[in-house]
Structure 1
Amino acid sequence: MVTLKEIAREVGVAVSTVSRALNDHPHIDPETRRRVLAVAERRGYRPNTVARALRRRQSRTIGVLIPDLLNHFYAACTTVLQEQFERQGYGMSLAVTGNDPRREQTALAQMQGAQVEGIVLVPSARPKARETIDVPVVEMMRASGRSQVDSVQCAEDDGSADVINHLRSLGHERIAVIAGDPKFSNARERVAGARTALGEDGLPDHYVMAREHTPTWGAEALRRLMELQPAPTAVFASSGDLALGALHEANRLGLDIPGQLSLAAFGNTDWFDICRPPVTAFAHPLHEIGMITAQVLLSRLHGDSPAEPSRIRVEGRMILRESTAPPPN
């Protein structure tokens, strides 16, 4: 890799002159700038962006921490983030935490050490009391309880209430919920929205199965629910993975959906529309969440944001399909 010193030797000027020419410094002779740029282009010079960031404390890089690359929702939002940041001249550094608080803490420290200018974070859990983050942070999809960060989330509780109200409009009274780990804010909010829509007496504790967002748990939870007396006539699976597991178990049990059991989900995925029956779902506004998250962070970096952190909730929409119907007689 060609260095500034080599370019300076060929042009016959000082290294500092080469640096000023490459950085478009106003106080440099135009002919000298032209010669430096010509040699740099011919020799294939590429600036050391890490060293430049350390000198300027400005990397033009934004860190993004997500739990899982395979999850459709995080991948979709991350794609939107990258597009928006690139339009503003920022690169993106990505880390996958696996919902592990220790990996999250390590990634946060590493990104700050690499001089990222801001961070988008899907938090794993509540932060450590002594945690220090010296750059602007926007939490996306979940909230950790950090006091001095912006957050952009789907209106999780409203979305769950929409699903429950749809099932109630069909005549269902015994509605159960299969949910993820309650240590995550979005899992708690989805159950809370269902409880609000049904009322405390309408969602007894034994109709709530909350553990993790996996197909395995979705299948086990549905099996347990169908063993209850009386069993529910409708199930709300609060993620696509939980719905997948529930559908597999319903097939194993020989249940007719929606003839014997209605199934609705939180979060729309591509396969919901092509499975049989197609699955009724509340769709995350993924593109909007990614766009707004990028806008909030960029505004914070440019000094255009209010002093107080933003708390933004984005509304989604119901997509009615054939997995829900009136309860059996």
Structure 2
Amino acid sequence: MADTENSPERPRRGRAASARDEVEAAIHDIETKVHDLEAKAREIDARIEARAGRNLTKAIFFGLVLGFSLLFSLIVVKELFMLFAGALVAFTVYELASALRFAGRDIPRVPLVAVSLGMVPAAFYGGAAGLWWAYLAAVGIVSLWRIVETVRPAMRQPSVSLRTDLAAGIFVLSYVPLLAGFAVVMTARDGGQWWVLAYLIVVIAIDTGAYASGILFGKHPMAPRISPKKTWEGFAGSVVAATIAGILLAVLMIGAEWWVGLVLALTLVGVATLGDLTESLIKRDLGIKDISTWLPGHGGFLDRLDSMLPATIAAYVIFSLLG
């Protein structure tokens, strides 16, 4: 019995238990610190989301996914840009048409998406003329579809009025596939893909500059009744960011004079800002915060394209005159 009590196994077991306790305590300490860091990160995200109106982490992730997809489609094979543009157009048309339907405008979503997709290859292979002819055909098809629905009793649904429905359908076609189509027209032309990439980067710089300076310095609302979080300080930041990006892109990427980049930047600042406010007016009229929730951290596709769509036609005009 004495030999058992004095056995070296007991001190060894005691040391092992002590070491295990120390390891467990260290692990527990690490877990506690990780939980604290996670709590602080969530608190910071909540503050940023409350200030900016969106989840920044998710916004950056999905923004990078879209950005790399865009770069691949523009730089590798031009024809791939039709697929990228077609997907964006289809989702955006569907979500805008859905938002309008929920607001009482009875417009056919599936025909709208179908004819909008048809406008993309028409723009790529037929140029601006092909885009316009496809747009007119799309307006005719969607309008005829809606008229036929009103004639057939089985397909009639309560709506504001036929005239309002037709106007809403034409608005969707004009706002999304027609404006986006000019980016496809530019891409199809020699060197046009670099202009498309340049104007998109400038618009991203505009949004980023406005976002950053608005969070840091924003105090004076630009249009409080339309978009309460848009400030003059944010607008100033967008001008600075766009000017720097425009001049650098003109000189280093599209091979133009520096003043061409300045013209592009200042034009896009004005047009993109108006586009952003226009989409805010649309959402305000429909009584919604985001057009949809398909893009985590961004809202809907139109919430990300509101500045880019009107900027497309401005970039196309400058490209046609100075490119």
Give the structure-1-normalised TM-score: 0.24
**Structure holding more strand per residue:** 1
**Structure holding more helix per residue:** 2
Give the structure-2-normalised TM-score: 0.25
Q: Find the structure with the greater CA-based Rg.
A: 2
